[in-house]
Chain A
Amino acid sequence: MRPGRRPRRDGLALTRTTFLLPAFLLASALVAWPFFETLRVSFFDWPGFGPKEFVGVENYTGISTDRAAQTAILNTVVYAVLTALGTVAIGFVIAALVDRKVRGHKVIKFLVFLPVLLPTVFTAQVWLFGFDGNFGWVNDLLGFIHPSLDRAWLGDPATVNYVIILVSILQFTGFPMIILFAALQDIPGEIHEAATLDGVSPYERARYISFPMIREALSTVFLIQLMFGFRVFDQVFVMTQGGPGRASEVAATYVWREAFVNARFGYAAATAIVTTVVIALLSMIYLSIFRPSKIQRAG
């Protein structure tokens, strides 16, 4: 930051403002403003058309007693944390196994990353069929391994969430993998050589040298996965619609249902706000633990 103001040619300021304006206006109008509007609507009771009735914090108190809403928010958090953990951990292992000298590393990376690009709707549909009670092949395969594994995975409240999480992990692991792969390749070859000379085995190298050296990339990619995880909607919407009961409901599907099925826009808005607050809090806690230097900048 420069102390004092610098006299600037008018042209420059004008150009810069023109460059910034479209982005700023659009983003503010269709992303920022809706947030505040949702906040506003959350204090009303409104079926989506017709008059709004101001109810103060009634929606919020309603949420505090609404088991379904709380389950939804809790599921969202659990989902985000578990998928982030799963994708990053497995992504790291794959990245560590497949380094540039391994034959076919390009093909492996290509294949592992591919599912990331597929529409979540697509994978959800396909897995939905796999888990189908009548003609699904998942149970065929699992039953082949052990009969007790042949069950109604999606129909059981105890297991349904884990199925969804598993489907997500299978699809999205490719992303942390490519990020961590790049980070691992950045480690100078000399360090590996020095370690080899020191008698360090490949496993020990991965654990004591590679892993600590990519700490930054690990925490960044974990945060990114976490943020994506909080937005979960597609898989639940397609595979279970929140069921059985409300066992697999997540925040996004809950909001959608309350607004567009039950016509309770105000309540839906309040849920959305509560979810955002929870996410914000969790993110700040994460950042303060894992990235203290960044916190200063955001503050």
Chain B
Amino acid sequence: MATVTLSAITKSFDSVALFDGVDLKIESGEFAAFVGPSGSGKSTLLRMIAGLEEATSGTIQIDGRDVTHEEPSKRGVAMVFQNYALYPHMDVFENIAFNLRIARYSKAEIEAAVEEAARILRLDDLLRRKPSQLSGGQRQRVAIGRAIVRKPKVFLFDEPLSNLDAGLRTQMRLELETLHRTLGATMIYVTHDQTEAMTLANRIVALDYGEVKQVGTPGELYYTPDNTFVAGFIGSPRINLLSASVRESGTNGTVVAIDGLADVQVTLPHEDFAAGDEMTLGIRPEELRFVEGTTGTSGELTLEGTLTTADRLGNITYAYVDVGLDRDITVQTAGKHEIVSGAPLLLSVPVTQIHVFDKTGQRRLPVAAARPVVAGGMEADALRSDP
């Protein structure tokens, strides 16, 4: 299989710049997901690798070979399109065989190749049907079959599951995972659905309007997001992002005040921050706990609030708690835990689990280094919101 290397890729449409120097390396056999919102450029990046779009500058290498100016068909890539792009007037066999025919393979070779692909994808009975006679999932498999017979170095997927309904999507996800394991091929997968990316990929490239925000394993992106974009994009339900500012900063650490609420002291190793500097705190819903009693534990940030509403899914409940900020805090708790709307509640989260981001959205704090607050001699009930 093959590596894919992008070096100093820039891309502009007319005079609007999308990419301004992207460097990326995808290892052989990896399943890499390009994930991001619409317009982030993930499809464009994929298409540049395929050769369907030209980069304004920079180089693309596949398996060590510079393919920046090569024809798409000569790059050794195969692509599965969002709408499958099956030739409607050809049957399944013909669709899969077409590119082999163009490349002038012998009839015997073509038949062997198509039949093998059909076997892998369980299309054997459907070979003589036309695309209009196939279901969405079957069409998708034909599109994949078409890609397989090319024996490409890299498989490219452009949002292939977005046209399928939810149940089918889950099923196809499993099939794609199996396919990856079976073929062991390098696969690049574009999606706007972070769940797909998280479950399928062993490496995720998070993109936000032309910028690569983070590259890493799903775990890395989830537990150590580099910036507010990744923190907010990865993870469902969405992370709670709170606006905060620096209250004071010193050698002991920095006290950060959540706008309108409590203070939290964190240790920020290298920089000094000035009072008033803006920060953003990120707290995952599953890290928050409901606690009883009026005293909070040391080492924890405690917030008081009332329940607005809750999504009870049976095994899990997502509670939306109004703590006095513009937006409710999302808290994940066990389904069996009873909570009542309107009742006063106490939320608590270990300070070590709070992600801290500076005003540019960059991560500033490895989570484990945070320390609890002790504010001016008062007991831990100083953790309460200011009146």
Contacts and interface: CB of A to CB of B under 8 A. Distances in A.
A213 interface: yes
B138 interface: no
A198 B85 contact: no
Most buried by B among A190, A191, A194, A209: A194
Contacts of A213: 87-89
A199 B82 CA distance: 20
Interface string A169-199: 0000000000000000000101101111111
B82 A190 contact: yes
A193 B82 CA distance: 12
A197 B89 contact: no
A190 B83 contact: yes
A200 interface: yes
B343 interface: no
Contacts of B146: 194, 198
A204 interface: yes
Contacts of B88: 213
Interface in A186-236: 188, 190-191, 193-200, 204, 208-209, 212-213, 215
Nearest to A194: B85
Most buried by A among B83, B85, B99, B103: B85
B77 interface: yes
Contact of B87 (A191, A193, A196, A215): A191
A200 B89 contact: no
Nearest to B158: A190
B81 A196 contact: no
A198 B81 contact: no
Nearest to B84: A190
A216 to B, nearest CB: 11
A195 B146 CA distance: 11
B204 to A, nearest CB: 25
Given A193-B52, A194-B79, A199 B102 contact: yes
A49 B72 CA distance: 76
B81 A194 contact: yes
Interface string B56-91: 000000000000000111100111011111011100
B103 A199 contact: yes
B209 interface: no
B82 A197 contact: no
Contacts of B82: 190
A22 B51 CA distance: 60
Contact of B77 (A197, A204, A212): A197
Q: Size range of the interface on B?
A: 20 to 34
A195 B102 CA distance: 10
Given A193-B52, A200-B99, A188 B85 contact: yes
Contacts, number: 57
A208 B98 CA distance: 10
Contacts of B99: 197-200
B102 A200 contact: yes
Nearest to B88: A213
B187 interface: no
B73 A198 contact: yes
Contacts of A199: 71-74, 99, 102-103
Given A198-B102, A200-B102, A209 B81 contact: no
A240 to B, nearest CB: 44
B148 to A, nearest CB: 13
B102 A197 contact: no
A33 B51 CA distance: 64
A209 B87 contact: yes
A195 to B, nearest CB: 8
Contacts of B83: 188, 190
Contact of A197 (B50, B84, B87, B103): B50
A197 B102 CA distance: 11
B130 to A, nearest CB: 12
A193 B102 contact: no
A196 B77 CA distance: 12
Contacts of A204: 102
Interface string B39-65: 000000000001110000000000000
A186 B82 CA distance: 17
Most buried by B among A188, A193, A204, A215: A193
A197 B53 CA distance: 12
A99 to B, nearest CB: 16
Nearest to B103: A199
A196 B52 contact: yes
Interface in B201-250: none
A213 B130 CA distance: 13
A198 B73 CA distance: 6
Contacts of A198: 73, 98-99, 102, 146, 150
A82 to B, nearest CB: 28
A191 B88 CA distance: 10
B175 to A, nearest CB: 20
A155 to B, nearest CB: 48
Given A198-B98, A198-B102, A193 B85 contact: yes
Interface in A270-288: none
A212 B88 CA distance: 9
Contacts of A195: 87, 98
**Nearest 8 pairs between A and B by C-beta?**
A199-B73, A198-B99, A190-B85, A194-B85, A212-B89, A190-B81, A197-B72, A191-B85
Interface of B: 50-52, 71-74, 77-79, 81-85, 87-89, 98-99, 102-103, 146, 150
18 contacts: A188-B83, A190-B82, A193-B79, A194-B81, A194-B85, A194-B146, A197-B52, A197-B73, A197-B78, A197-B99, A198-B73, A199-B71, A199-B99, A200-B98, A204-B102, A208-B98, A213-B89, A215-B89
